[in-house]
């Protein structure tokens, strides 16, 4: 079974632009979560989607948004990019919401904002 | 709100020796999960071991074991017979079992483990 895939793997954007990152979960998994990883703040939860609905949201500004499609693939969007948005963005999938199953992480998208 | 603290930013161990990574957490909940994740230089997060709070028995996965002290809110990871491939950043993580929290993980700041040949 293929693992979680994230595209693109690397991205360079300019301040003020917007960006869309994609995450394809493991086949059969219906829950997708997103995390931001920075040297200063560590790993922080962004949001979680299940059955095309956002089920949980972290403490991030409204510039960060996401969605999930009927095939469980998820996208996250960051508008009006700031230098502080430079980070590794990780997504993780799990079979269902709020289950004892662990989450499987993708390789991440490295976003650099200049 | 729950918090996870890893007080050791860096640790070092000699190959084949044993090392213990520390983690403490704070929560008012009685039912939750605790995890140790490994992040090698490739940045791929890999689950190392999982512990359910309602289980008193400490989890073990091959060379990896935990010491779960619920009352003390402590969850340390012991790596036995350390191998060069164990070198990585290790994260301790907490997950509530409350349905409204879903699969949200709360991570510690990480411990960078180096293994000396």
Question: In this structure, are strands A31-38 and A10-13 parallel, antiparallel, or unpaired?
Answer: unpaired
A-contacting residues of B 39-98, CB under 8 Å? 42-47, 50, 52, 91, 97-98
A5 shares contact with chain B (CB less than 8 Å):
no
Please tell me which of the candidates A58, A90, A97 has its beta carbon nearest to residue B103. Answer: A97
- Which of B63, B64, B54, B56 shows the shortest CA–CA distance to B92? B64
- Which of B61, B91, B43, B11 shows the shortest CA–CA distance to A10? B43
Dihedral (Cα; B108, B104, A32, A82), 10-degree rounding: -60
Q: Are B19 and B111 contacting, i.e. CB atoms less than 8 angstroms apart? A: no
**Contact call for A107 and B46, based on CB within 8 A:** no
B-contacting residues of A 23-82, CB under 8 Å? 31, 33, 35, 42-45, 48, 50, 55-56, 58
Burial B41-71 (b: 16+ CB within 10 A, else e): eebbbeebbbbebeeeeebeeeebbbbbeee
* Residue B102 DSSP symbol: T
Question: Does A101 score more than 70 pLDDT?
Answer: no
Question: What is the C-alpha separation between B74 and B77, in angstroms, rounded?
Answer: 10
Q: Which two tokens stand for residue A54?
A: 């956002």
Question: What is the C-alpha separation between B48 and B36, in angstroms, rounded?
Answer: 5
Residues of A in contact with B2 (CB under 8 A): none
> Over its length of 117 residues, how does chain B's per-residue pLDDT go in tens digits?
899 999 999 999 999 999 999 999 999 999 999 999 999 988 889 999 999 998 888 999 999 999 999 999 999 999 999 999 999 999 999 998 887 777 889 999 999 999 999
A52 CA to centre of own chain: 14
Amino acid B42: pLDDT? 86
**Contact call for B52 and A50, based on CB within 8 A:** no
Residues of B in contact with A35 (CB under 8 A): 105, 107
E strand or H helix at B14: strand B10-14
Amino acid B4: pLDDT? 97
Beta bridge partners of A31: A50, A94
Amino acid A85: pLDDT? 97
Q: Compute the Cα dihedral for B46, A63, A99, B32 and give only its sign.
A: positive
Rounded average pLDDT over A61-75: 97
**Contact call for B102 and A98, based on CB within 8 A:** yes
Closest chain B C-alpha to A46 CA, distance in angstroms: 9
Higher pLDDT residue, B108 or A40? B108
Q: How confident is the model at residue A98 (pLDDT cuts 50, 70, 90)?
A: low
**Closest residue in chain A to residue B45, using alpha carbons only:** A105
Question: Does A103 score more than 90 pLDDT?
Answer: no
Give the CA angle between residues B41, B45, B50 to the nearest 5°: 135
> A–B: how many Cβ contacts below 8 A?
68
For the purposes of burial, counting CB atoms within 10 Å of the CB of B74, is it exposed (0-12), middle (13-18) or buried (19 or more)?
middle
- Of the residues A98, A108, A109, the best mutation for testing chain B's interface (the one with the most B CB atoms within 10 Å of its CB) is A98
């Amino acid at each position: 079974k293929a693992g979680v895939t994230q595209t693109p793997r690397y991205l360079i954007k300019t301040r003020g632009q917007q960006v869309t990152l994609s995450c394809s979960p493991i086949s059969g998994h219906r829950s997708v979560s997103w995390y931001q990883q920075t040297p200063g703040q560590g790993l922080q939860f962004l949001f979680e989607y299940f059955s095309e609905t956002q089920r949980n949201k972290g403490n991030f500004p409204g510039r960060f948004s996401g969605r999930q499609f009927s095939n469980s693939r998820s996208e996250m969007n960051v508008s009006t990019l700031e230098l502080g948005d430079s980070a590794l963005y990780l997504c993780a999938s799990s079979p269902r919401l709020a289950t004892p199953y662990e989450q499987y992480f993708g390789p991440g998208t490295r976003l650099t904002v200049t | 709100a729950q918090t996870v603290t890893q007080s050791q930013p860096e640790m070092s161990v000699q190959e084949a020796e044993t090392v213990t990574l520390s983690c403490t957490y704070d929560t008012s909940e009685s039912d939750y999960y605790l995890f140790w994740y490994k992040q090698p230089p490739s940045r791929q997060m890999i689950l190392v071991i999982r512990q359910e709070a309602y289980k008193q028995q400490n989890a073990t996965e091959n060379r990896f074991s935990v010491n779960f002290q619920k009352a003390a809110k402590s969850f340390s990871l012991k790596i036995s017979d350390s191998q060069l491939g164990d070198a990585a950043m290790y994260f301790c993580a907490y997950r509530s079992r409350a349905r409204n929290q879903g699969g949200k993980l709360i991570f510690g700041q990480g411990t960078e483990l180096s293994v000396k040949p």
